[in-house]
Amino acid sequence: MKIQFDEKHLLAGVAGEANGVTRSEYEESRPNALEALASFREKSEKGLYGFPHLPFQKEMIDAINQYADSVHFEYDTVCVVGIGGSALGAWALDCGIRGPHPVQGAFTPEHPRLVILDNIDPSFTAAALASMDAHKTLVVAIAKSGATAETVATFLIVRDWLERALGDEAARRIVAVTTLGKYEEVPHKGEYKSPLCELADTQGYKTFGVPENVGGRFSVLSPVGLLPAALIGIDIGELTRGAAEMTHRSWQPDLEENVALRAALWQWLIWIRKEKTIQVAFPYSNQLWGTAFWFRQLWAESLGKKRNRAGAMVNVGQTPVAALGTTDQHSQVQLYIEGPNDKVFTFWKVEEFGSPDTIPARTFGLEAVDYLVDQTLTKLIDAEQRATAAALSMNGRPHCTVTLDRLDEEHLGAFLQMMEFQTAFMGELLDIDAFNQPGVEQGKNFTYGLMGRPGFELYKEEIEELEKKWAAAGQGTLGSGAGNGVGAAERT
């Protein structure tokens, strides 16, 4: 397994002094990186954060494989009901190994498709149900808390659809992935059991647990991502083997060996020292497109924080953007090269595509066509990436590159684990908690209140009062009091 990080186009000698980092700045900051490594490792070994340990949980991996084997050939569709981290990881794995939708092969019980219901748009849900055969569908409902409004609402609709077709047999076609023990969420009520877990217990659904110290955006190598992957035929043993190797590398103090820590340090320097507040993930592979959206959530929710660990107001964050090479050379690169110089670009490259891609050896007497004859798409996509990189550098736009030897389960598992470690290290460098999400919880609590969930009445009252003030203001603002975040966010 080989994954490389190339930082040379982040250097001041390439991007210019105003936009690049010097080697001396990097060398002087090595102690910061080693401190971040030690700090995160201590927290991980105390059990605060569990994602580094997931690839080594053989019992979990074996249980998933055993279940997948036991139901093999009973379905041609796996329907995942989840949102955010409970859906994006499964999509990244499916897209990365089996290829992007809609160009995957025809789905059969031997080659089932993956349908992900990750939004509550009624038209989207209805269209998804119409596209599936209830007699050939296995439903996987995923919610760590077991109470996420979007997931629960969609699951109730899917469950009813399944039961109307299958009757009592529907329970055999439903799996719940959630917290199996006690879970604290309801304000003023303390701990409670996941409602999805309670429903599974009463209805007889198969269950898999989400470790309490693994948050949704870091859960791709837990049953959240591994179960859907195994059910559609992805080798999760190879996925976790690659992730385990990356984990070993990510605990090393040698920055040349520890690619996640080295990448985090360079990204931290270019962000903080050169004020590059937008991070563009730029995969030159359609199979990594799902991973780009998975990364977008990981980076945004982990690093966008109002306060640091000491409680001081910092409002830190780097906005992640997904761009696809070469497609978005024709839709975004004009902005990237000539627009505001507030971005850093991270190219994701695949060295070996492993697909036949030779351009037919037939000429037409046209210079603008015939020069491509008998060359390959692999050579062309590499030339396109190099050309985009050169154009960015010529215009003082810093960028770096992560290269995977090839895209298989081992490399994808390692790459996902690398990005999770890089994010965790970045949180330490920024002195923020990369594993909480108070901003997200505020919106969730308002939703629960508006929908009448017991225990959330105060949130309904608060949002109704705010809406009255906004309406009275007439301009959609509250003047000096608007957007200060005081209230529900401070209580969560």
- Residues known to be catalytic: 301, 330, 444
SS3 for the chain is CCEEEECHHHEHHHHCCCCCECHHHHHHCHHHHHHHHHHHHHHHHCCCCCHHHHHHCHHHHHHHHHHHHHHCCCCCEEEEECCHHHCHHHHHHHHHHHCCCCCCCCCCCCCCEEEEECCCCHHHHHHHHHHCCHHHEEEEEECCCCCCHHHHHHHHHHHHHHHHHHHHHHHHHEEEEECCCEEECCCCCCEEECHHHHHHHHHCCEEEECCCCCCHHHCCCCHHHHHHHHHCCCCHHHHHHHHHHHHHHHCCCCCCCCHHHHHHHHHHHHHHHHCCCEEEEEECCHHHHHHHHHHHHHHHHHHCEEECCCCCEEEECCEEEECCCCHHHHCCHHHHHHCCCCEEEEEEEEEECCCCCECCCCCCCCHHHHCCCCCEHHHHHHHHHHHHHHHHHHCCCCEEEEEEEECCHHHHHHHHHHHHHHHHHHHHHHCCCCCCCHHHHHHHHHHHHHCCCCCCHHHHHHHHHHHHHHHHHCCCCCHHHCCCCCCHHHHC
